[in-house]
Amino acid sequence: MKVLWITNILFPEVLAKLTGQKELKSTGGWLMGAANILEQKDEIELSVAAVSTLVKKLKVFQGERITYYVLPYGNGNQKYNKDYEHLWIEVKKLAEPDVVHLHGTEYAHGLAYINACGSDNMVVSIQGMKSAYRYYYYGLTKWDIFSHLTFRDVIKGSIIKECKIFKKQSEYEKEIIRNVKHIIGRTSWDRANTWAINPNLQYHFCNETLRSEFYDGSRWSYDTCQKHTIFLSQAGYPIKGLHQVLRAMPLVLQHYPDTKIRIAGEDITNTVGYHNILRFKGYGRIIKSMIKKYHLENRILFTGSLNADEMKQEYLKCNLFICPSTIENSPNSLGEAQILGTPVIASYVGGVPDMMKGDEEHLYRFEEVSMLAEKICKVFANEDRQVDMVDVAKLRHNQNINSEQLLKIYNIVLRFSKILY
């Protein structure tokens, strides 16, 4: 069976061919985990297509076991770009896919494939959903936003504009969902939201496979963790909820004055140097203002971009991982923390409650800062007496089970498309 994946990122193998960089330090590493298992199956011939600014025309690369198609970014994929249509026709001609798997509905290049090539043999995986744009800056007022505008915001647009872009992209997302017959999801939240857009969809359940580094048996231990250290997997924009964690800190510090927060990713508060000043965003300014207001200057550390193993080490050495987002579907960061046995707290949003079954006491309403602070303090006080979610997470993210389920879905899509023809 020839399977064509359409993704939002370049895989390390093709990235190395284009730039010499072999390591992925961004979101999407879980895709490699799934591909590594799938490509080992003799009955599957896998191709992966993505859009990139690194090429000026369609490029084809042959990897060790995967064929890659890289489309030029051109006029972009956040708005509908008709230029992609003839490129997708060419990719389809070259790849001759039996099944096309679109990973994510966030960008318009997936819609361009559907418009150019049809969707009868296509299945779409739900990652996040841009139709949840109404939560983009939840927890912030418009005064918070407009009183912290930066030079970059004036030139390129503020948080409000970013939210409007999400809203526009949600229209493309809805069009994708209305025009396909098969959806892959994994939470009650994504099932309800896709059903609301297209009640005639065939919904297929399939959990996600994590990055391979998280299956080596590593296990969190209270004895070796850095006491009263909180880890956040990202905080680059308002949806990730850092502002709420900072609001909880004064209460936490009353009980645990040595508390520190480590945040994966670039320092969004950095204004050192001309380059950082020019790209300084309003959300970074809000966070910088909050750090000063709550006297947290020596308690917040941005780690910089991390690879999978570096992320794993952060989970293992923290005392607590928090997923404080305004909205999520099924955050892989939460799954990664759980499979290592790291204590977690998560906001009760989107599909997160599905991942926290059995550990509901560590859920809190996003807007309830006092509840978040209390739960942080309870985790610190409980030492290693946490709800053990390791076995639950291992089953949910089992590589073999998930790859077999994905194969079943591909066969259903293939049979369905043959009936149509």
**What six digits make up the tokens of 372?**
């978040």
Range of the domain at 51: 2-134+166-209+398-420
- Cβ atoms of 119 and 96 closer than 8 Å: no
Domain membership flag for residue 143: no
The pLDDT of residue 31 is 85
Q: Are residues 411 and 375 in the same domain?
A: no
Domain membership flag for residue 152: no
341 Cβ contact partners less than 8 Å away, ≥ 6 residues apart: 219, 220, 386, 388, 389, 390
Q: Are residues 234 and 204 in the same domain?
A: no
Domain membership flag for residue 310: yes
Q: Are residues 192 and 334 in the same domain?
A: no
Q: Are residues 188 and 247 in the same domain?
A: no
Q: Are residues 175 and 283 in the same domain?
A: no
Q: Are residues 11 and 125 in the same domain?
A: yes
Nearest-5° Cα angle at 106, 103 to 108: 95
Burial of 114: CB neighbours in 10 Å, binned 0-12, 13-18, 19+: buried
Domain membership flag for residue 154: no
The pLDDT of residue 388 is 84
Domain membership flag for residue 407: yes
Q: Are residues 193 and 238 in the same domain?
A: no
The pLDDT of residue 34 is 83
The pLDDT of residue 43 is 87
What string of DSSP letters covers 107-141? STHHHHHHHHH-STTEEEE--S-GGGGGGTTTT--
Q: Are residues 14 and 128 in the same domain?
A: yes
Burial of 168: CB neighbours in 10 Å, binned 0-12, 13-18, 19+: middle
- Cβ atoms of 119 and 179 closer than 8 Å: yes
How many domains does the chain contain in total?
2
- Cβ atoms of 9 and 186 closer than 8 Å: no
Q: Are residues 339 and 407 in the same domain?
A: no
The residue to which tokens 């912290």 are assigned? 148
Q: Are residues 238 and 384 in the same domain?
A: yes
Domain membership flag for residue 148: no
Q: Are residues 260 and 197 in the same domain?
A: no
| Strand ranges in 326-401 using DSSP code E only, listed in sequence order | 344-347, 363-364
- Cβ atoms of 237 and 163 closer than 8 Å: no
**What six digits make up the tokens of 39?**
């490509």
Segments of the chain with pLDDT less than 50: none
The pLDDT of residue 291 is 98
Q: The dihedral of CA 99, 105, 110, 114: what is its sign?
A: positive
Domain membership flag for residue 39: yes
Domain membership flag for residue 160: no
The pLDDT of residue 297 is 95
The pLDDT of residue 398 is 95
The pLDDT of residue 42 is 82
- Cβ atoms of 274 and 293 closer than 8 Å: no
- Cβ atoms of 7 and 182 closer than 8 Å: no
Q: Are residues 49 and 85 in the same domain?
A: yes
**Considering the entire predicted model, what is its pTM?**
0.93
The pLDDT of residue 25 is 59
CA distance 336 to 348: 18
- Cβ atoms of 316 and 341 closer than 8 Å: no
The pLDDT of residue 420 is 56
What CATH number did the domain enclosing 91 receive? Answer: 3.40.50.2000
